[in-house]
Amino acid sequence: MEQMLRMPRRDAVASMEALAVDHSNGRSAGHRDDAALYRRIYDRIRDLILGGRLGPGTRLPASRALAAELECSRTSVLAAFAQLQSEGYIEGRAGSGTFVSGVLPEQLLSVRPEPAQRADRKRRTPEVPRRHLSQRGEVLARYARGPRTPATAFIPGVPELRAFPFDVWARLLGRTWRRPAGGLARHGDGAGQRPLREAIADYLRVVRAVRCDWRQVLITTGAQQAVDLAAHLLLDPGDAAWIEEPGYPGLRGPLIAAGVELVPVPVDGAGISVTAGRRLAPHARLAVVTPSHQYPLGIVMSLARRLELLDWAHAEKAWIVEDDFDSEYRYSGRPLAALQGLDAAAPDGGRVLYVGSFSKVLFPSLRIGYVVLPPALVEPVLRARAGLDDHPSAVAQPALAAFMGEGHFAAHIRRMRTLYAGRQAMLVTAAERYLSGLLEVPADEAGLHLVARLTPALAARLDDRQAAARAQAAGLVTPALSSYFLHAPTAQGLLLGYAAANDGEINRAVKTLAAVLSRTG
């Protein structure tokens, strides 16, 4: 700590001397458990921030330096940093380090301008209302999506709606609701309507090698609700959950809402690193993964890594949520078998909850998804769900069941797979022509977006968030890869969605992106 105090920078790390003293006292009292140590570091830094001794913008010591000062494992420091970052107390800046956030969770929605400034500021920014949310609610508000945009390029994960057979869909809806049969208009089944659950189970057994019958299928409003159910019904507040790093931000909110501790686990070329997960939180109660096509990197989890993940889950009696968000769109060979199928085949199987959604396959506003539960969870989850939301909307379920049962769903998937494969090829070709020297845009075997890596020449001028901001100013939506990290990002790039844009739109968008990224100054 003495060396840190002499560092000529705006760190105020002298305030963290109390942390070393507190840690030393705890160590002498026998506090050697890694989990307890991580929590003590987290609590102490949080107290220093809230007490004003570490002000907004203060740079924190590097994790290695702090671990050496505290004579503890760097893993404990990283775990504490990860939790502080997930809750909004600190933020990582690529190439610069870790800093106290400019606006803390406790300050959100609580600051009003001074009366003398109010008239002038009213014209520029809306007045911030008094705090109404809980601390947890304020943290959740940080995960809200930005405003929707009509742009078609390059929004990731948005399907081509102009090719959906809405005439067929309208006919099926009309047939169902012109004269609703039986109790269709009354309260529905808490798990969803049986015909749709049967259609989903039949489809998953054939296409995804999921081992299930229709009784295990629970209808949800999408993947987020499935994760929310898993977090609330299977975990207690304070339990740890592995999440992929980088990973889909939309799955973090349900975990935070349930009071779950987020443990970002790095993803390598074989998928989520189970070795790293065991080191960071060996006794975590849940892992949320995208094994068939990792989001956002597109990595396919290897068989060895899948078996390793299952071994960990069985040994720790933990649960795995398998988010299979776009498995239908694989452009070479058949879709990969699901992780759930490997788990269900084990003698004591039943640790994987398989999650899917129709939002990217059909259209986003449909708001129908599903989770395939392990057999032992079916009855208790159905009973517990009744205390949360009774039953899902039944309006579109009969039409979707018919859409699948009459072959329209399979035909639509075949058409869209061909269409999207062509659009991906168009994007790669246009990128080679116009973005050479700026971005490297390799093809992918699956999915609805590509990850464009910044070339060294571009990275010397801009980071990916600056590049994304330039693109947004030009009417393009190109999320920065670094924004999908909870820790300090280890990769830079842009996500380029191609599904919702036709060839002409893709070509024009690539030209625009090349122009804004080529501009100096």
The number of folded domains in the chain is: 3
Question: Is residue 150 predicted with pLDDT exceeding 80?
Answer: no
DSSP secondary structure code for residue 446 in this structure: B
Q: Are residues 230 and 365 in the same domain?
A: yes
- pTM of this structure: 0.75
Reported confidence tier of residue 122, pLDDT bands at 50, 70, 90: very low
pLDDT at 437: 96
Amino acid at 218: L
DSSP 59: B
Do 97 and 220 fall into the same domain?
no
434 and 378 part of one domain: no
E strand spans, 393-505: 439-440, 449-454, 493-497
The pLDDT tens digits for 16-47 are 544 554 444 444 434 445 556 777 888 889 88
CB 489 within 8 A of CB 481: yes
For 246-296, the pLDDT digits (tens) are 999 989 999 999 999 999 999 999 999 999 999 999 999 999 999 999 999
Residue 132 domain flag: no
Amino acid present at 244: E
Instruction: Name the band, by pLDDT with cuts 50, 70 and 90, for residue 409.
Output: very high
For 505-513, what is the mean pLDDT? Answer: 97
φ/ψ of 28, rounded to 5, equals: -70, -25
The b-or-e profile of 328-341 (16+ CB within 10 A means b, else e) is: bbbbeeebbbbbbb
Instruction: Give buried/exposed letters for 142-152 (b at 16+ CB in 10 A, else e).
Output: bbeeeeeeebb
201 and 336 share one domain: yes
Residues 169, 199, single domain; the answer is: no
CB atoms within 10 A of CB 261: 24
- Same domain as 205, residue 148: no
User: 142-151, 373-382, 469-478, 479-488: which has the minimum mean pLDDT?
Assistant: 142-151
Model pLDDT for residues 286-335, shown as the tens digit of each residue: 999 999 999 999 999 999 999 999 999 999 999 999 999 888 898 876 66
pLDDT score of 493: 97
Tell me the CATH number at 100: 1.10.10.10
Task: Give the pLDDT band of residue 71 (cuts 50, 70, 90).
Answer: confident
Between 69 and 119, name the one with better pLDDT: 69
Q: How confident is the model at residue 120 (pLDDT cuts 50, 70, 90)?
A: very low
Distance from C-alpha of 99 to C-alpha of 402, rounded to nearest angstrom? 54
Q: Tokens for 280, please give them.
A: 């960071």
Range of the domain at 88: 2-107
Q: What pLDDT is attached to residue 19?
A: 57
pLDDT attached to residue 46 = 83
271 and 211 within one domain: yes
Query: Is 129 domain-assigned?
Result: no
Q: Given a cut of 50, is residue 118 above it in pLDDT? A: no
